[in-house]
Structure 1
Amino acid sequence: MTTPLPSATRAAVLAHHGEPLSLTHVPLPTEIEPGAALVRLTCTTLCGTDIELWSGKMTFAGMLPMILGHEMVGAVVAIGAGTVDALGRPLSVGDRIGWSESTCGECYGCTVLREPVACSRRGYGFLQRSDAPPYATAGLAEYCYVTPGAAKLLLPDEVKDAWASMAGCAAKTVLRAFDRAGGVRPGSRVVVQGSGALGIFATAVAHLSGAGSVITVGAPTARLEMAARFGADHVIDIAGGSTATVERVLELTAGRGADLVLDFAGAPSVGPEAVAMAAQRGTFVVVGSTGPTGDAITLGTVMGKELTIVGSLNGDISDYYRAIEFFRDFATRMPWDDLFSEPVGLSFASDAVESMARLGQIKAVIDPRLP
């Protein structure tokens, strides 16, 4: 006897920026398309983008109502014909999977640039309104519809749910940034701007990659202390201001500056600070600056130091795969679990969002199976 598919899912819906999420029921598609899957979510981790969307810092016309959450994993409860993961492995009911954003495979970005992140029709869960088909494609729900164009990945048992969820955005974004920078030269000096989840994870990556010195810049104190536990040789509190931050970096690098500076903060001041603290022929990777403007940088300094400035946007399925393998390979090298709060149910999702907005948590975890 076949178990009937759920026709709706409980979800925490954002109807108005800055207001509590509404716990309600959202329809689910009545049929599973070829290449698609219906997943019962077991873990969703909140990302900084979720907080920017909730607050309205990141917004666009017609986006609401919507379901937040784009870092999630779950178990397949129904599968469309011919659905396989990104490595061609057939997927079945009961499989634990994660997935990257959907891409069209037909646009200039997909076919000419061969860059999934440049897809002109790239689909995130949070680009889907919750009052229009296929309704529930994001993480703050019991069930999620994984569209045919989403690159799915069968997950190894060794990688915990929370780790695999974080790999879906934060971790893959960090790994792509290091890749765009050309990696970490052993013994080099690395500055990480930002001490949130991305900054702390980047600190660990720099340390594990053989950096001679890792300096993490950010706030508050508790997060800087966490960065030290994840491999930072030095931490700098931004409360001292831009001038003091740059001077301290130069002091710690014997006046030469950092070979690699990575922006995971997004504050308007990160650009001029990065250019000032970078070493001759250093590299500056812009990752966290999602806002439309930032403080001006001095092009003469960029030229005089012969700096390389690189932009890095999120990540694709290859970055997601590498993030999963990173957690598997380095499972015991860092206290990864310390990044995550205790899981809570959907009833507390709104509280978790507001807590992250106050910097009360690094990575909030939602388990939709809990009350």
Structure 2
Amino acid sequence: MHPEVTRAAVLREFAAPLEIADVPLPDDLPPGSAIVRVTRTTLCGTDAHLWQGAMPFVGLPIILGHEMAGEAVALGPDAGRDALGKPVELGSRVVWSESVCGHCHACTVLNEPVLCAQRGYGFAQRADRWPFAIGGLSRYAYVPPGAHRIVLADDLPDTWAASAGCAVKTVVRAFANAGGVEPGATVVVQGAGPLGLVATAYARASGAGQVITLGGPANRLALAAGFGADATIDVTDVTDPDERVAQVEELTGARGADLVLDFAGAPTANREGVLMCARRGTHVVVGLAGPDPAPVPMDVVMGRELTVVGSLNGDVGDLARALRFLSAFADRFDFDALFSPPVGLSGAERAIRDMASMAAVKAVVDPGLD
């Protein structure tokens, strides 16, 4: 028997306090589904944007949080293996991907489940409709059949593993979509949030010869330096986009960068990113520039023969590679520096506010603390 209800922090009104309430859990578990006890949830910028009302099309109430790790407490039929073929048992520590249908054009013909037409994003699940609780700000969460799970290595911390569920796998996919990092290449990372900081480490670990990170505030750029940035540009000091481009040009000996990745989502980021590229360079678009982005100079794209690539989140393969990256470089990078001390559900709203104000790099919630 699994729990019939779960305590959760529920968003019922945008920019309003979260309500701590009991939410139902599914009575019967379909084949491939599971119930987990959430042990860690790491918050994402999207959670803050949702709370603020920046995505007003989202139906309320919802349970925020889409980066989580937990222990399996109930398994539906045919749920006894993870995506890598390892056994999933009661008590297994797992992370999981967003659910996918497995039969649409993207899942089958394109073989790109990240583009699934029915992908189960957490913010699409209302907390007053079945299956109620799939978000991370909850003591227990339902894992749908199409959400592929991965059993965690014993030495991988829950907090790191949770962050792999969106932030780290998004970075991994962005580099893969760019074709990787050529040995000795110059890489520019736009943004010093969680994704930009992880990307800085990933670029350094991938053999980049020069890594330049743009962002702010100063404490985040200090983290970027610790994660391998050779140079940083504080966008709160250098507020002119053209000056930022000029500084990258100077740092690269007037050649530009081989690879520029936008994890900032600022209105001018893609224009800057293209202008920062060297000839035959690549610009990867991950951030959302908002409703009024600066025009991208297509003459520069053509004249330098640039490649501009879009990259969206990640699938279970990217999740597996993200976990492998965290494990492989656990002794090289201080990943713990990304995370705030965990708080319980009663502190979840404060944690979201800290993400919105940039007081926290990566806020952490342990729903079992209260």
The equivalent residue for 2:62 is 66
The equivalent residue for 2:163 is 166
Task: Please give the alpha-carbon distance, in whole angstroms, between the structure 2 residues aligned to 1:91 and 1:106.
Answer: 24
The equivalent residue for 1:340 is 339
Please tell me the residue identity of whatever aligns with 2:70: G
Task: Please give the alpha-carbon distance, in whole angstroms, between the structure 1 residues aligned to 2:258 and 2:366.
Answer: 40
The equivalent residue for 1:78 is 74
1:207 and 2:216 correspond? no
For residue 219 of structure 2, give the secondary structure of its aligned residue in structure 1: helix
The equivalent residue for 1:308 is 307
1:20 and 2:29 correspond? no
In structure 2, stretches of 5+ residues that fail to align are none
In structure 1, stretches of 5+ residues that fail to align are none
Task: Please give the alpha-carbon distance, in whole angstroms, between the structure 2 residues aligned to 1:216 and 1:164.
Answer: 24
Deviation of 1:292 (Å): 4.5
Please tell me the residue identity of whatever aligns with 2:67: E
Task: Please give the alpha-carbon distance, in whole angstroms, between the structure 1 residues aligned to 2:162 and 2:56.
Answer: 23
- How many residue pairs align between the two structures? 367
Task: Please give the alpha-carbon distance, in whole angstroms, between the structure 2 residues aligned to 1:246 and 1:15.
Answer: 43
1:36 and 2:33 correspond? yes
For residue 97 of structure 2, give the secondary structure of its aligned residue in structure 1: strand
Deviation of 1:5 (Å): 2.3
Please tell me the residue identity of whatever aligns with 2:282: T
* 1:263-319 deviations in Å (ceiling 9; x for gaps): 000001001111111111110000112635411011111111111000000000000
Q: Is the 8 Å Cα contact of residues 66 and 166 (structure 2) preserved in structure 1?
A: yes
279-288 or 16-25, larger mean C-alpha shift: 16-25
1:184 and 2:161 correspond? no
1:222 to 209, 219, 223: 219
Aligned pairs for 1:1-371 within 5 A: 4-61=1-58, 63-83=59-79, 84-239=81-236, 240=238, 241-289=240-288, 291-371=290-370
For residue 361 of structure 1, give the secondary structure of its aligned residue in structure 2: coil
Task: Please give the alpha-carbon distance, in whole angstroms, between the structure 1 residues aligned to 2:202 and 2:132.
Answer: 36
* 1:10-31 deviations in Å (ceiling 9; x for gaps): 1011111112211111111112
Task: Please give the alpha-carbon distance, in whole angstroms, between the structure 2 residues aligned to 1:5 and 1:202.
Answer: 39
Distance verdict in 2 for CA 1:290–1:20, change over 3 Å: farther
Q: Is the 8 Å Cα contact of residues 50 and 68 (structure 1) preserved in structure 2?
A: yes
Task: Please give the alpha-carbon distance, in whole angstroms, between the structure 2 residues aligned to 1:37 and 1:323.
Answer: 22
Distance verdict in 2 for CA 1:290–1:249, change over 3 Å: closer
Task: Please give the alpha-carbon distance, in whole angstroms, between the structure 2 residues aligned to 1:21 and 1:270.
Answer: 33
Q: Is the 8 Å Cα contact of residues 272 and 296 (structure 1) preserved in structure 2?
A: yes
* 1:248-268 deviations in Å (ceiling 9; x for gaps): 101100111111000000001
Provide the aligned C-alpha RMSD in A: 1.0
* 1:199-231 deviations in Å (ceiling 9; x for gaps): 000000001111111000011111111111111
276-285 or 89-98, larger mean C-alpha shift: 89-98
Please tell me the residue identity of whatever aligns with 1:298: P
- Aligned-pair identity in percent equals 56
Task: Please give the alpha-carbon distance, in whole angstroms, between the structure 1 residues aligned to 2:156 and 2:289.
Answer: 30
Distance verdict in 2 for CA 1:218–1:176, change over 3 Å: same
Task: Please give the alpha-carbon distance, in whole angstroms, between the structure 2 residues aligned to 1:59 and 1:274.
Answer: 29
Q: Is the 8 Å Cα contact of residues 82 and 90 (structure 1) preserved in structure 2?
A: no
Q: Is the 8 Å Cα contact of residues 47 and 65 (structure 2) preserved in structure 1?
A: yes
